[in-house]
Structure 1
Amino acid sequence: MSAIRKAGKAGAVCSVAAIIAMVIASGQVRTSEQGLELIGNAESCQRDPYKCPADVWTDGVGNTHGVKPGIRKNDAQIAADWERNILDAEKCVNRYADGDKLKQGAFDAAVSVTFNMGCPAMQKSTMFWMFRQGRITDGCNQLPRWVHADGKVLPGLVTRRNKEKALCLTP
């Protein structure tokens, strides 16, 4: 975690639950409330921009698009950014992992890892290939491989991938 995030301003944290409620109310995403909770709790919610472990400016709930250092966002802006990012991850899962054929838990887990790692990293992954082949359990078992950043295993990613795998294997 960067010094910028650690030093965060008072009131900079926002409620993941409130943002989830706003995204669900829009009715645009397929990702379930459980999937959104997994992603939101893993990412947390920050009103002020900060540098993530990959040294990328981030705000809201893991948003990296159009982040301007020093600009604090309100709940509506955070929810709109997150919804757009979730929809992008869903499009990637639908296109490259036959997401429309995945059960909800596998879809949610695939959206979570795609949200976190990005579509370019996931579209040619063994996991997505297995999903396209209908090998859902084998694909879910690939999740623990996605725990590295800058060549190092991040404990937070280990925890997240374990939760995604459990969700993915949900009947």
Structure 2
Amino acid sequence: MADNQPPKPSKAGRTLVGTVGMATALMLFTSIPMEESGRKVTASVSPQTGAVTVKHISGPQYLKAYLDLVKKATACDGITRGVRMGQIYTEQQCAQMLEAELEIHAHELITCIPGLSPTIPGRDHIRAAMVSLAYHVGPPAVCRSSIRLKIAQGRLRAACDTLPDFNKSKGRVVPGFVARRAREHALCIKDAA
């Protein structure tokens, strides 16, 4: 059904692995489902084709569109783009939609913060944490923050230490955001020692 087709990446042929590198992509494919829907998955990338396979292990799997906390139609692992109430997705469609959304967010983030490029070695954890943040709050919020300058200056630990600041919605601290930022911070600092 055409309504259930995943969004197309902004540039034909671009993949998450191509945008962030294999290690970062695998981190994102396992951490985002845990963050967004509380489910555990395994992810693998075919060395021959670069195709990603995500396999559901446990936890809730939202294959039918639902209204999230702000009453926005949502499906799978926090996907909102193109989702309408009543739609039902397969596990494969959810994986394709997740990859497309992560790639769009990652590409926009790396465009504004070149220091997150996969061509720079030793930054997989930082890149995964920052893409996770951008997936949650939007790339523009991250790009406008002090994170951009801190990474450009090579102040990686300072950039990671900024993550907890993204813990509010409408001026109020949200406990779930605090916990998510703490997990992203712990991931980020693995590369920032």
TM range (shorter): 0.7 to 0.9
Matched residue, 1:53:
69
Matched, 1:76 2:69: no
Matched, 1:122 2:142: yes
Identity of aligned residues (%): 27
Deviations 1:4-25 (A, max 9, x none): xxxxxxxxxxxxxxxxxxxxxx
- How does the TM-score come out when normalised to structure 1? 0.78
Query: Is residue 54–residue 150 contact of structure 1 (8 Å, CA) maintained in 2?
Result: no
Matched residue, 1:136:
156
Q: Tell me which of 141, 157, 160 is aligned to 2:180.
A: 160
Q: Tell me which of 20, 34, 46 is aligned to 1:41.
A: 34
Q: Aligned AA for 1:36?
A: F
Q: Tell me which of 146, 151, 171 is aligned to 1:151.
A: 171
Deviations 1:93-128 (A, max 9, x none): 211122113700000000000001111222211112
Q: How many residues align?
A: 146
Task: Give the number of the structure whose residues are more often helix, by fraction.
Answer: 1
> CA separation in 1, counterparts of 2:146 and 2:78?
25
Deviations 1:21-61 (A, max 9, x none): xxxxx955633423332221010141121222233221111
Q: Aligned AA for 2:158?
A: D
Question: What is the alpha-carbon root mean square deviation over aligned residues?
Answer: 1.8
Unpaired runs of at least 5, structure 2: 1-15, 38-60
Unpaired runs of at least 5, structure 1: 1-25
Matched, 1:87 2:96: no
Matched residue, 2:42:
none
Residues 107 and 27 (structure 1 numbering): CA distance in 2 closer, same or farther, change over 3 Å?
closer
> CA separation in 2, counterparts of 1:56 and 1:121?
20
Q: Aligned AA for 1:43?
A: E
Query: Is residue 17–residue 25 contact of structure 2 (8 Å, CA) maintained in 1?
Result: no
> CA separation in 2, counterparts of 1:55 and 1:152?
18
Matched residue, 1:97:
113
Matched, 1:67 2:83: yes
Residues 35 and 63 (structure 1 numbering): CA distance in 2 closer, same or farther, change over 3 Å?
same
* Consecutive aligned runs of 4 or more in structure 1 exceeding 4 Å deviation: 26-29
